[in-house]
Chain A
Amino acid sequence: MKFSLKNAALGAGLVFALAGAASAQNVKIAFIEGLSGPFGGVGQNQLKHFQYAAERFSGKNANSGVNVEIVPLDSKGSPQEALALLKKASDDGIRFVSQGNGSNVAGVLIDAINKHNERNPGKEVVFLNYAAIDPDFTNSKCSPWHFRFDAGVDMKIEGLTNYIKDQKDVKNVYVIGQNYSFGQQVSKFTKEMLAKKRPDVKIVGDELHPLGQVKDFAPYVQKIMAANADTVITGNWGPDLVLLIRAANAAGFKGNFYTFYAGVIGTPTAIGAAGADRVRMVSYWHPNTAQNEIESVYTGFKQKFNEEFYTVAAVNAVRFLVAAVEKSKSTEAVPVARALAGMKMRGASGENIEMRASDGALQQAMYIAQWTKAGGKDVKFDQEGTGHGFKTVRYLMPEQSAMATSCKMPKR
């Protein structure tokens, strides 16, 4: 009796497994992000990016047998909450986790996933990092389970300083950032690389302010102007950049801004006409790249949500995951991670991108883009109805922007 029941169960399982293989395979991504709190606005907007990417690049619409489902989990931006949610997600059988806003959160997730995977063979979890760009994650703290779809701080500052090298009007640089691992790395790499490439440039200020706490940036702007800075380099994102630029415009600051995240929701509105030809950003994509393979995604997203599309990393994360599931014919973490490592694809601006196996960092193009009045062939799309958009002023091929890694990758 016992025997036959077991056989029956086994048989039924087999039938289900076969049925599953024949129809669509469902893959869930736990989207652990601060969806409320000071950076909630950015988190909500990124969630839409992921949902839209899943809609366009998986399942029926993409002619794929792999259907990606996004499960949003609100970490409120706190590392502790994110850990609890990671536990919940893995308990619910979700094998893929995505997060990006805050390297402080990403750092604890990587540690926790490393431990979890060691202790729970067969139930491993893979981390698809779409925006946390502390370079340690692909160097000293690299993990076989971590794949980063954004470019690291080192890669971005390398591109930025290569551009600044030729800008003779840059003389006094002020570095301001959020006081956590990411802001500290931006400050460190900027000083190091500027010293090498433009030894004549003076660093007139090096400021770290509390993350997401400052509501009035006027005193900081006063300090920047008192230091006689002509250029501000900042890794600030979300409200911290919006309020900084708003205060700078209010105080009549006329210098240049070199940013990472000028395209993030709300920021273009704050920059406005006052920032024309003065605000630049370093990024792996912007809507006015010379060859824009995902223009329909950009316009479709804008039509659907009336918000700007800018996180191509969300699209890439979904595309790579779908391809890896197809290639490995599995929805389990280990085979998918092995398939992801070294996977090559065509990028959003037509370049060849590769998920480098040696450190889990996506090798992609880099752009320096300048905030410019829209119109003409260089600035086809404006941002948030400001009449201004991004114009490419420097383009780096993936080979040119590649950085060496010190990672000794354990076996996947």
Chain B
Amino acid sequence: MSVLNGVSYGLLLFMLSAGLTLIFSMMGVLNFAHASFYMLGAYFAYQVSSWSNFWVGLLVAPIIVALLGGMFERFLLRKTHKFGHVPELLVTFGLSFVILELVQLVWGRTSVDYPIPQSMTAPLFKVFDSTFQTYRGFMMLIAVLMLVALYWVIKKTRIGLVIQAALTHPDSTEALGHNVPRVFALVFAGGCALAGLAGVIGGNAFITEPGMAQSVGAIIFVVIVVGGMGSLGGALIASLLIGLMQTFAVGLDWSFVGAFANLGVDITPETFGYSLWKLKLSQVAPILPFLLLVLMLVVRPKGIMGTRDE
């Protein structure tokens, strides 16, 4: 059961980081506003589903997010592109604040009630006593479908061929008559759509609030750094790794006290630094991904499947 929970959380992380890592590999720019598009997806889906239903939201919200992302690329990012990477980075950084403030102005500073559709609250199946909710299964299904579609588009279609070419040899691709800036805009919009889609299904599984971009933003950077900048496969492995790690760590009550007890050393409340020794793995679970990030940067800076040379 923990495996399933971990995998479903990991797949959601992958949906988010896939777009980010695609955009990075293409433009060489980290999109700081990526998690904000995730948040926008959740809010749009909330708004649309309050007017009609969840399924319309599932369809419409990612499209709106993609359009916004495309427009941002076309009218802002492209203009700063010629000044180099730092201004590009700063523009996306600024955008994340603008989106945050706009969301707070429109939908308020507190969480909104964006429920899971009634038809999917029922249990899907049972393992021992605990049930697995249909919606979690649906989350996994969407993520896997997206993964397959993404793979198919990039590897098997003509558009994918052009994208791959534009990634590595933009000048020759342009010389062959392809509109490389348009490909850039397309990829950017596509990446944003993936983030929006993740927002649609993550927003009601967890919570839709203005802080959601920030809380997930840090994690997806960990994912793409650990996975290797620009590597889709690496992002998948890293997402699943982090999803599983967080769920399993919560379940484990290991601490230094226990570890030393096994070695025959007793640590009591009188021991120096007891409050540190008694910390359980379950309590530090939320910081484990960042620990992994630091370790990865020390041991293997290019990430699991990164291709970047030092």
List the interface of chain A (C-beta within 8 A of B): 35-38, 40-41, 44, 179, 207-210, 213-216, 218-223, 225-226, 239, 242-243, 250-254, 266, 269
Contact = CB atoms under 8 A, between A and B. Distances in A.
A252 B129 contact: yes
A213 B130 contact: no
Given A36-B110, A41-B110, A215-B206, A253 B250 contact: no
A41 to B, nearest CB: 4
A370 to B, nearest CB: 23
A219 B5 contact: yes
Given A36-B210, A222-B1, A239-B111, A214 B251 contact: no
Contacts of A40: 109-111, 209
Contact of B104 (A36, A207, A225, A226): A36
A225 B129 contact: yes
Contact of B206 (A41, A208, A243, A252): A243
Contacts of B206: 215-216, 243
Interface residues of B, number: 36
Given A37-B211, A225-B130, A243-B207, A219 B109 contact: no
Contacts of A221: 130
Nearest to A207: B282
A38 B135 CA distance: 24
B239 interface: no
Contact of A226 (B131, B135, B211, B251): B251
Contacts of A242: 207
A102 B129 CA distance: 35
Contact of A213 (B6, B111, B247, B286): B286
A208 B283 contact: yes
Contact of B283 (A36, A209, A216, A218): A209
Contacts of A35: 109
B111 A223 contact: no
Nearest to A40: B110
A223 B280 CA distance: 14
A219 B110 contact: no
A219 B2 contact: yes
B123 interface: yes
28 contacts: A36-B104, A37-B109, A37-B211, A40-B109, A40-B110, A40-B209, A207-B282, A210-B283, A210-B286, A213-B286, A214-B286, A215-B206, A218-B5, A218-B136, A218-B247, A219-B2, A219-B5, A221-B130, A222-B1, A222-B251, A223-B250, A223-B251, A225-B130, A250-B121, A254-B129, A266-B111, A266-B113, A269-B113
B21 interface: no
Contacts of B212: 215
A102 to B, nearest CB: 16
Contacts of B109: 35-37, 40, 44
A40 B113 CA distance: 14
A209 B1 CA distance: 20
Contact of B209 (A38, A207, A208, A213): A38
Nearest to A41: B110
Given A219-B2, A239-B111, A252 B207 contact: no
A242 B204 CA distance: 13
Interface in B104-161: 104, 109-111, 113, 121, 123, 126, 129-133, 135-136
B9 A216 contact: yes
A216 B113 CA distance: 16
Interface in B248-296: 248, 250-251, 282-283, 286
Given A210-B286, A223-B251, A269-B113, A250 B133 contact: yes
A207 B282 CA distance: 8
A211 to B, nearest CB: 11
B246 interface: yes
A41 B209 CA distance: 10
Given A215-B207, A222-B5, A252 B110 contact: no
